[in-house]
A and B are shown apart, each in its own frame.
Chain A
Amino acid sequence: MAKPDFSSSGDVSADVVVVGSGVVGGMVANELAAAGHSVLILEAGLRLKRAEYVENWRNMSFHNRLHSDFQGLYPQSPLAQAPLYFPPNDYVGLSGPNGSAFKQGYLRTVGGTTWHWAASCWRHLPSDFEMKTRYGVGRDWAISYNELEPFYCRAEEEMGVSGPHDKSLQSPPERSRPYPRDMIPFGYGDRRVAEIVNPHGFHLVPIPQGRSIEPYGERPACCGNNNCQPICPIGAMYNGIQHIEKAESKGAVTIAEAVVYRIDTDENNRVTAVHWYDAHRQSHKATGKTFVLACNGIETPRLLLLAANERNPNGIANSSDQVGRNMMDHSGVHASFLANEPLWFGRGPAQSSCIVGPRDGDFRREYSANKMILNNISRVAPATEQALKLGLVGKELDDEIRRRAACGVDLSISLEPLPDPENRLTLSKTRKDPLGLACPDIHYDVGDYVRKGLDAVNSQVKQIAGLLGGTELRITTDYNANNHIMGGTIMGRDPKDSVVDGDCRAHDHPNLWIPGGGAMPSASVVNTTLSMAALGLKAADSIKAAFARGQA
C-alpha cells in the first residue's frame, strides 16, 4: 500500500496531491490509491463526526431550522471560513443585479458539502452538452454525453444510486447500464400528484437518489427520517466522507485544517508543490507528481487566483483569463400552495419526485428550461409558524398545523443560466480571511435567458396549483441559490477561451487536473453532483493513463 512520505518538518511528498476532500476529491483519491499510487488529501476545514452534526442540528433554535440554516451546524475552522447566514458573515462578497441569488451554502470540512445535500443524482441530458450546436446559446462541452456516459454509470455505482428501472421514467433514458438500485418508491403524495399532473404533460418522475431502501455495501437502508438536509443521521445517504474513508483504507492520508495558498510551478509550467498553513499558521509544503484541485466551485477559482506566481501572473491555469468567470448556479424560485386534499409531504426521504416536462425543448433557443422538485421535506415547521402568527391556540392551532402540514406543497424550481464571462469571481481588494488571504467577491446577473424562463415557470406553476385545487399560491419574487456552483474553471477545446480540457486537465499545466462543477460549461437544470463525480472519475482515469505513459 503506497503512502505519502512525511519529513520531520511536516512537509510531505506523494504521487498525487489532492486539494479538497469532498465527493470529487474523495473519489479521485480513492481511484488513484486503488491504482497503487501514494495519495495525500489536503482539506482546509475540520474533521468531525456525524453524531456531532446531528446533535448540533437538534440543538438549533427553531428559527434557524425553519429557515434552513444548513451551514450553522457544521463548525468551521477559524482559519478556513465558509458562508454563514445566521447571521451573515459576508465571507463571499456579492454584487451585481442578482448578487443576492448567489448566497451559496458550501462546507469546508472533511467530506465536503455532500454532508448537507439531498442526494439527487441527475445526469445532464445529451442536449445539455451541445447547447451552442443545438440551440445557438451558451457553450458546447469539450466532450459529448456519450463520452461521459460510462463515467455516469460508474459514479452511480460508487454512490449507490436508486433510480427508475422503468425507461419511461428516466431523464434521460439514454443509459448503457441500469441504475444500481430501482427507484426509491413513491409515497402517497408523489403518486397522487403524478396521477393529477402527468396527463397535462408535466412528467413527474422519481429523482435518482444516492440512497436505497436496502443496504448498499456498508451503507444502511434509508428509513425515511426526512432529514437528508442538513444531515442524514444514520449515513444511509451517500456523503463524500464515504470515499475519503475508502481512500484512506487504501493508504491515502488526509490532513485536515490545511489551507492551501500557494502553488509552485517549474520552467515547463508543471506544478511541483503546493503550500499550506496548518492550524497553528505554520506553512508546509507538499511535493508531488500530479496535483488535483477539487475545492468546489468557489474555493477552486479563488485558490487559482490567490496562487498567482511569476510565471502565471494572472493566476494558476489562467492564461485564458477565464478562471473565475462564467459563474453559474441553478438560480431558482419557490412556489407554495395548499392543495384541496391532504398529500402528506414529509414522509420518506426529503427529495422524492420532480417535474421534468419543461427540461428540454426547442424553446431553449429563447429561454431557460426548468425543473420543479416536489419537495418532500416535512412542512410541520412552516405550518406551525403560519398557524402561530394567526394567533390560534388549543385545538384550532393543532388543526391548522395539521391541515397546513398535510395539504401544503412546496415546489423548488431551478432555472438554467448561460455562461457569461461577466459573472465573475474575483479576489476582494479589501476583505481578507484570518490568514490574510483575500476573500472571494462575485458579481452575478441571472441574465435575460433566465428572466424569460421565469415567465414560463410562473404560468406552469399556476397550472399545477390549479390542477391540485390550490389556494394561497405564492411564488418567491427573488431568485435563491441552490448551491450548484459551476463555470469558474470552464471546460473547452480551445486553451484561449477555457481553463480545462475534456478530462478536466488544465490547459496550462500538464500535471494539474481541476475536476468538478467549475468545469461544467452548461448548467442544465439538474443538481450537479453526479456530473461532478463523473468528471472526477474521468479525470482519475486520465491521471492513471498519464502515469502509465510516464507523463503524470
Chain B
Amino acid sequence: MTKGRHPSAPVQQSVLGRRSLLLGTIMGSISVAVGSSVLGKAGALAATPLDETFLAISRAITGRQDLDPVLSSRLCAAMQATFPGYASTIQALASVTAQGGQPREILERSGDLRKAFLALNAAWYTGSVEDRTGAPMVAYYNALMYQPTKDGLPVPTYCFARPGWWTEAPPALGIPIHAPLPATPPPPAPLGVESKTPPQSPPLKPITPSSPPYVPKPRQEH
C-alpha cells in the first residue's frame, strides 16, 4: 500500500472541532492505495477544476459544507483510479447538484445517477472508495461515519478522555428512538467474527419472560 501523510491543515480542524484539535497531529494520517502518480498529484494539494467540481458535488450530496478539500482531492483521485471514466461521472453528477437542494432532494431527482450519488456518499462516510476487501481508502479518523456519534463514542484507537471516562453518563440520543425505514435493513456484520458475514436468521420475535414480572422503568435520557 502506498502511503501518504500530510500535516493537519486548518480546514480539517474546522470539520473536526475542538476535541480533535487537541489531538494534534495524530489525525493527519491519511493514506491512499492508488498509484503514486495519482497520490503525487493529490499530495501536492494542486486543486484542479475537476477537484473543485468533485468537492462541490460532495458537499451537495453529504449536506456538509465543511468537507476537507485535501481529503476531497485524495478521494477524487482514488475514485478515478478505481472507476474508469469517473471524470465524466463527476460532470454528470454536477449537472444534478447544480440546481441545489437538500441531499434527499438531490437523490430524488437523480434518476439513473442515484447509484453513483449513493456510492460517492458512501465513500465519504466509510473513507473507502467501495465496500469490498482491500478497496482503496483515503480516510480513517476523518471518515464521516464517526461524525453522528462524536459526542458519545471515540473513533477506535483514539483516546477520548481520561481513564475511566466511560463510567460517566452518555449523551442524550436527541432524536426519536424509532424512525420509518424505506426497507428492511440487511443484518449487521457480527463484531469480531473474522470472515465474510455468516448467514443470519430473519428477524426473530423476542420472548419476554413472564416470571418474575418485568416492569420496564421509564427510559431515562442523560
Contacts and interface: CB of A to CB of B under 8 A. Distances in A.
B186 interface: yes
B169 A476 contact: no
Contacts of B157: 54, 57-58, 225, 227, 231, 233
Contacts of A377: 156, 191-192
A267 B7 CA distance: 65
A273 interface: no
Interface stretch (A21-29, A60-68, A513-521): A60-68
A281 to B, nearest CB: 27
Contacts of B137: 59-62
- Contact count band on B: 35 or more
A269 interface: no
Contact of B190 (A395, A467, A476): A476
B113 to A, nearest CB: 13
Given A87-B133, A393-B63, A393-B121, A476 B198 contact: yes
A342 B170 contact: yes
B44 interface: no
Interface in B154-170: 154, 156-167, 169-170
B204 interface: yes
A85 B134 CA distance: 12
Contact of B167 (A187, A380, A471): A187
A233 B170 CA distance: 24
A404 B117 CA distance: 23
A389 B186 contact: yes
Interface string A386-416: 1111111111111111111111101010000
Contacts of A466: 206-209
A271 B149 CA distance: 58
Contacts of A393: 61-63, 103-104, 106-107, 117-118, 121
A61 B167 contact: no
Given A59-B1, A406-B152, A395 B63 contact: yes
B200 A476 contact: yes
A546 interface: no
A475 B159 CA distance: 32
B102 A394 contact: yes
B149 A341 contact: no
A121 B188 CA distance: 28
Given A55-B29, A62-B131, A475-B200, A234 B194 contact: no
Interface in B9-62: 29, 31, 33, 61-62
A382 B140 CA distance: 15
B187 A336 contact: yes
B167 A68 contact: no
B140 A58 contact: yes
Interface in A63-100: 63-64, 66-71, 85-87
Interface in B175-220: 175, 177, 179, 181-183, 185-209, 212, 214, 216, 219
Contacts of B81: none
A380 B143 CA distance: 11
A394 B60 CA distance: 9
Interface string B126-160: 11101111111100110101111100111011111
A308 interface: no
Interface stretch (A137-145, A216-224, A439-447): A216-224
Contacts, number: 313
Given A67-B194, A462-B204, A347 B152 contact: yes
A305 B160 CA distance: 48
A480 interface: yes
A223 to B, nearest CB: 4
Interface residues of A, number: 105
Nearest to A54: B157
A384 B125 contact: yes
A458 to B, nearest CB: 8
Contacts of A379: 188, 191
A23 B192 CA distance: 21
Contacts of A478: 198-199
Contacts of A55: 29
Nearest to A458: B204
Contacts of A187: 166-167, 170
A59 B200 contact: no
Contact of A226 (B3, B143, B156, B183): B156
A348 B199 contact: no
A261 interface: no
Given A226-B156, A462-B205, A61 B161 contact: no
Contacts of A473: 203-206
Contacts of A297: none
B122 interface: yes
Interface in B78-109: 102-104, 106-107
A63 to B, nearest CB: 5
Contact of A394 (B62, B128, B209): B62
B196 to A, nearest CB: 7
19 contacts: A54-B157, A68-B192, A70-B192, A103-B195, A187-B167, A224-B154, A229-B192, A334-B191, A346-B153, A347-B153, A347-B166, A377-B156, A382-B191, A389-B185, A393-B117, A402-B173, A463-B206, A466-B209, A477-B200
Given A103-B194, A386-B186, 6 more contacts: A62-B131, A188-B167, A196-B214, A223-B159, A410-B191, A412-B192
Interface of B: 1, 3, 29, 31, 33, 61-63, 102-104, 106-107, 117-118, 121-122, 125-128, 130-137, 140-141, 143, 145-149, 152-154, 156-167, 169-170, 173-175, 177, 179, 181-183, 185-209, 212, 214, 216, 219, 221-222
- Pairs of residues from A and B, 7 with the lowest C-beta to C-beta distance, nearest first: A348-B166, A394-B103, A334-B190, A466-B206, A465-B206, A62-B126, A466-B208
